[in-house]
Every structure is written in C-alpha cells, then in structure tokens.
Amino acid sequence: MSRYISPVLYVLLMLVGCLAFISIAGVRVGVFDPVTGFALLKKSVIASLVLSLLAVISLIVCRKECNAATARFFYLVLVLTVLYSAMWIIFYVQRSGLPEINDITTDMVTPPAYINVNFLRHSGENSLSYHKEWASIQKKFYPNVKPLLTNKSKEVVFQKALKLVQDNGWVLVASYPEVGLIEATARTPVFGFRDDVVIRLMTTDNGKTRVDMRSCSRVGKGDFGVNAKRIIKFMSSLSESLNSDQMKRLRFLN
C-alpha cells in the first residue's frame, strides 16, 4: 500500500508548496490583492495540517510493509508540514492579542496629515481620516510610540529623516523641506502590504525640533503591530543618526 500512498503524499506536498508560493508571490507581483493572498495562505496552513495528519496515518498503516526509504519520506512530509504550519500559527498567536487598529501616530491630538497619499489610495482601501477613539487603544498597547525632540536644526533633521526613508527602501511620495513634511510608502516584508507614512517636523517654542510620524495601512482592520514597530524603529534610528554626528564632532575636537 505504501507504494500508492507515497506518490499521493508527494503530489499533495507539492500542491501545498505551490499554494503557499502563489499566496505570497501573487501579492508581490500584483496578481491579486493582499487580502486574497492572506486568505490563500490560511488555506495553505490548513492543508498543511491535514497533510501532517495523513503522514501520521500513513506511518501507522504502513509500518509493517514500508521500507526504510518510504518511512523516511513519510517522516520528511510530516516534519515539513508541521514546521510550516507551526511557523504561521505561532506568528498568528503572538499577534492575536493586538487591537484591530491600522493607523498609528506619535501625535494623537493633531496627527500629521497626508497630502499626496490621498491620490494614491483607491476607494476600497482604508480611509486616511484619523479615528480619535483609537488614541486610548494605542496608548495601552503601544506606549513606546512617541515623538522625537532634538536640539538639531529643522533642516539637519529633515535631511537625516529623508536619508533614513531612502535607506529603508520606502517609496518616496513627496518631500517638502520648507514645511518639514515627508510622505512615503513602505511595504511589509512577506506579503508586501502597502503602508503609507508621513513624517512632520516642527520647531517648538523653546527652539527644539519635534519629529512626529504617522503610519497607516491601506488594507486590513488590524496591522499586527507593524505600524507601531515601524515608527519606533524609525525614531530610534533617527535618534542614533543625530547623536552619532554629535559624537563624531566631540571625538574630532578631542
């Protein structure tokens, strides 16, 4: 019986692999939208779990008649499908407790406004109007999302922020040095979900430069914490970049 089961498991394993590849590659190249791709990925995980069960059943049913090579193949199918399923299940469980919000900002009173991004979004995508009721939720789940204050001039900070946008590989939508505004589009690593970013620089009353940032997903009710993570990482990198210049000058003076 094992000689009949092995080809079936092989074909099913290839189909699961193809479904996983199509779900991700299809979104990346624009064949279908990210929501459809995510739905296909879920189906590939379910199919992988079913295939894991079939591999276990095959090992039990054919334990007496299958040779060592066949048994190794059954174990290989089991290991591959379990690892694949576990990877995505862990990913989902780790983020399942996060809120269903998709618009994160360092300024929840007067969020940075998008200008050119408005013309890039389709009617079926998320609105760019900020939901004030999300402010309390953001404070609870993402307390580290904060603006950056620096003694550096607005012009210096703007150039640093613009370079960091480019270094991150985001698509620059618009930049206005005179008003201190940068708009860009970032993409998530796997599915390539597009999230729009706006960075606003202002000079405070005491002469410091304040950097605010907003990151908003184009699709999906929740963002699995991606927008908050993006802002925190950007602010941290910008702060390090600004401080490194100061340290270099101090070393030069010494």
pLDDT reported for residue 34: 75
DSSP string, 89-152: HHHHHHHTTS-S--EEES-SSSPPPPSSGGGTS-TTSPP-S--TTHHHHHHHH-TT---EEESS
pLDDT at 253: 41
Residues 88-128: tens digit of each pLDDT? 898 888 777 889 999 999 999 999 999 999 888 888 889 99
CA distance 119 to 102: 19
**Mean pLDDT calculated for residue range 8-33:** 88
pLDDT, tens digit (0-9, with 9 covering 90-100), for 147-164: 999 999 999 999 999 999
For the record, the structure tokens of 153 come out as 């001039």
Residue corresponding to tokens 């276990």: 56
- When comparing pLDDT for 98 and 35, which is higher? 98
Which residues lie closer than 8 Å to 116 by C-beta, 6 or more apart?
173, 174, 183
Entry pTM: 0.79
Q: What string of DSSP letters covers 218-233?
A: SS-S--TTHHHHHHHH
